[in-house]
Amino acid sequence: MTMDTQLEVAERFRSLGFTQDLRAEPAARIRCSCGALWDASACGIAHVARFEGNSNPDDEAILVALMMPCGHRGQLTGGYGPSADLLTVEVLNALPPPQPGSEAHHAQQGSTEPIERGGDPPCWAHLMDDTPAVLGDPDLAQIVRRLADAVIICDPSGTIVFWNDAATWVFGWGPVETLGESLDLIIPERLRERHWRGWREVMTTGRTNYADRLLEVPALRRDGQSISIAFTVSLLHDPAGNIRLIAAVIRDDTQRWQERRELRRELERLTAQPDLRGDS
């Protein structure tokens, strides 16, 4: 491929939301242009494009479109062969491989057509300014990403901007597939009107009743299976007091819901039985 082709691919990535310039840092870390510094292992590959050198085919360039833990999408350029930058090579080697079946997995098959859709979601890496210095933004992001409970963060329109590993386990969708998509992805169709009516009320009032108590509702998995979830909601505001992000911490409550249902049925059955003890 020519250099022009590489530039065209980079421009195509930018048009699909991968707008941040990413830089390799020592210790296999990546610096986002928002200022956040992340371990390469915490970033997600959305697409990979490779280009052979014009004079030496062994001198290979690589362009990686990445989903950053701060919520941004960006591009990292590197190379292999005689002119390789060892710092970038270390970062590229530390990146996790695309998961089989994900939208990014086709990159390993040599495709150069990006498929990630959506704009650039807002960065949430610097929202906790009052956090003690012992925990930086990368630490907090890693904690949230690895929580046993699902964490989904949306912007005020209901567009998903963050999706942790547990959310993939609960709902079946991977982060590359969900970022930039509507929450309708996990809401049963019959409940969507009621959900968005409540959502608009929260956006209008700036308050939620579920910051400190669980809301239990049906939800939808990728395979179409209906599950029961229980979650709390946190509203994150900008300096002007406007809602910037909405975060939900979710757990799969299906088993407990089924147990409660069976218990209710058993109680109803026992209550409906005639008193066989007779008069004493």
CATH of the domain at 187: 3.30.450.20
Q: What is the pLDDT of residue 253?
A: 87
Mean pLDDT of the chain: 78
Judge if 67 and 156 occupy the same domain.
no
How would residue 1 be classed by pLDDT, with cut points 50, 70 and 90?
very low
Domain co-membership, 166 together with 62: no
Query: Quick one: 69 and 156 in the same domain?
Result: no
In a domain, 67, yes or no: yes
| Any domain includes 8 | yes
Asked if the model's pLDDT at residue 202 lies above 90, the reply is yes
Please determine, for residue 275, whether its predicted confidence score (pLDDT) is greater than 50: yes
Three-class SS of the chain:
CCHHHHHHHHHHHHHCCCCEECEEECCCEEECCCCCEEEHHHCEEEEEEEEECCCCCCCEEEEEEEECCCCCEEEEEEEECCCCCHHHHHHHHHCCCCCCCCCCHHHHHCCCCCCCCCCCCCCCCCCCCCCCCCCCHHHHHHHHHHCCCEEEEECCCCEEEEECHHHHHHHCCCHHHHCCCEHHHHCCHHHHHHHHHHHHHHHHHCCCCCCCCCEEEEEECCCCCEEEEEEEEEEEECCCCCEEEEEEEEEECHHHHHHHHHHHHHHHHHHHCCCCCCCC
Let me know if residue 115 belongs to a domain. Answer: no
Same domain, 102 and 153: no
Return the minimum-mean-pLDDT range out of 17-26, 107-116, 144-153, 222-231: 107-116
| Range of lowest pLDDT (8-12, 47-51, 112-116, 148-152) | 112-116
If asked whether residues 176 and 98 sit together in one domain, one would say no
Residues 214-265: pLDDT tens digits? 888 999 999 999 999 999 999 998 888 889 999 999 999 888 878 877 887 7
Domain count, the chain: 2
Q: Is 126 within a domain?
A: no
Q: Give residue-wise pLDDT tens across range 26-45.
A: 888 898 877 778 888 888 88
Write out pLDDT tens, residues 175-200.
Answer: 888 988 999 999 999 999 999 999 99
Q: 212: domain range?
A: 147-261
Q: Are 156 and 257 in the same domain?
A: yes
On whether residue 21 sits in a domain, the answer given is yes
Whether residue 97 is found in the same domain as residue 153 = no
Residue 132 in any domain: the answer is no
